[in-house]
Amino acid sequence: MRSSVFALAILLSSAAFAADSPAAGDMPAAPLAKTEAAKPDPDVAAASVVESAQPQKRSIPFHGGKLGYTVTPGTLTIRNDDGAPIASMFYTAYTIPSANGRARPVSFLFNGGPGSSSMWLHMGSFGPIKVDASIPETIAGPPFRYGPNPDTLLDVTDLVFIDAPTTGLSRPLGKAEPKDFFGVDKDADAFSRTIQRYLSKYGRWNSPKFLIGESYGTLRSGALSSALADKGVQLNGIVLVSTVLNFADFSGDQMLVNFLPTYATDAWYHGKIEPKPELMSLVAEAKAFASGPYASALQKGDSISPEEKQSIASAMARLTGLSPDYILRSNLRVGPDRFQRELLRDRRQVIGRIDSRYVGTEGDAAGESPSYDPQAAAISGGFVGALNDYLFRDLGYQTPLSYRPNNYGGIGEDWNFQHKSAQGPQLAADTSVDLAAAMRQNPRLKLLSVNGLYDLATPFGGADYEIGHMALEPSVAANISYVYYPAGHMMYIDPASAKQLKADLASFYARAQ
């Protein structure tokens, strides 16, 4: 039985990818017997409609001085249009008083899944406290190492980390059931109500407002861009971390085109390309090949000539480190799960999906798909242990509930991927449509796409493709920026990338206000 604690913010759809729940180590829970089904979940029953806030003054050493702040773990009660409570939403806020009388920006951060808490962003990215996962190896411990974050974004903006319903310490209330939140639109509605409630409770309606979502959280951000605008919440900026906005791009030939540049960077990192070129030159070459000759060859299907097929296989082999024979036997179509197994098969190793710098081994070295994610196995224990120690021992947060890093098993196949977009109903969510509409209606809205070059979950080629197809006028498209880092899905755990990311975000925030 694989571990059930891995809750990275990665996009999952049982229809579009059969990869993440099992591959990342989340197995569906066994169905309850009829005698058990009627029993209420005591962890949900203990959730309170009364909002909680347990603030503390803290400080960390920061760039030769001290950064003082207030940390507030607490809950917000969201209600339906009739005023009935539907969920207790857990958040952890980090705030600093304004020094110049001008309202400080406030940023709302969340991971994805769907079914992940905000633990990864909270303990690994921009907060003042950070888990040490600085090398692509298994985190040592326990005790796990966490401490002051030299790359915190708190000097630039207040931070509010929000747990999705049924994850972390967020729970349904009253007559609401978990399934009432399991869907693209239901989830976006819950987050929209949570953000509005925070703005009202803490008097932040006139503060510059930002969203930072990771993976499925980027798709959520796309939906929120329109949902919040419809409620009069005008955003200054949106940061998409490890982007996916359209489920359709994770099936068919377009998926293969989007992934190929990441295959090239992975091969480069693991020494499978000789002579070894400069990394970003390789990225440019791989993107040109993928969107040009490779895409054209795939579209030809069985009409492709043997000569062109051989030529494409040879070019692809040079860029990806795979053998021409393997590529030809795969009919030029090597999916990401097979690439994870094949790239280092000669070393009897498998590469990570969330971060391909991580490697692992399998009991069957001849297998065609990985049975686990080496990066997930390497860091999950450290993040879960550190979050619980920090929240309940260090901060002393009081609650009768247990922190859920994820609820993938609870969500299972109940998630509704249909979406009522800005252009009408969709069977498979594409929130780039909503994001494009929001940017047209608010031409001051800035967008930053942040992606890791070694990410086999949400490839940077896919992010570029989706954002590049939002049909924006040049004057609006000029508000979009792209940054790339030599790291994986969670580029913020890599020290060099984290430092550059902080600088890039600080610049983005300055432009967006």
Q: Could you write out the DSSP letters of every residue in 47-84? A: --SS--B--EEEEEEETTEEEEEEEEEEEEEEE-TTS-
Task: Give the helix, strand, coil percentages of the chain, each rounded to 5.
Answer: 40, 20, 40
d(CA 257, CA 393): 47
pLDDT value at position 381? 94
434-456 mean pLDDT: 97
d(CA 442, CA 27): 42
What tens digit of pLDDT does each residue of 321-334 get? 999 999 999 999 99
Cis before residue 143, ω within 30 degrees of 0? Answer: yes
Whether the model pTM is above 0.85 = yes
What tens digit of pLDDT does each residue of 159-183 get? 999 999 999 999 999 999 999 999 9
Strand partners, 430: 246
d(CA 47, CA 196): 21
What tens digit of pLDDT does each residue of 446-459 get? 999 999 999 999 99
* 28 has pLDDT over 50: no
Categorize the per-residue pLDDT at 6 as very low, low, confident or very high, splitting at 50, 70 and 90: very low
123-151 mean pLDDT: 92
**28 burial via Cβ count (<10 Å: 0-12, 13-18, 19+):** middle
List, in order of start, the domains of the chain with CATH numbers: 20-248+379-512 (3.40.50.1820), 251-374 (no CATH)
For residue 496, give both structure tokens: 């060099």
What tens digit of pLDDT does each residue of 44-84 get? 767 889 999 999 999 999 999 999 999 999 999 999 999 99
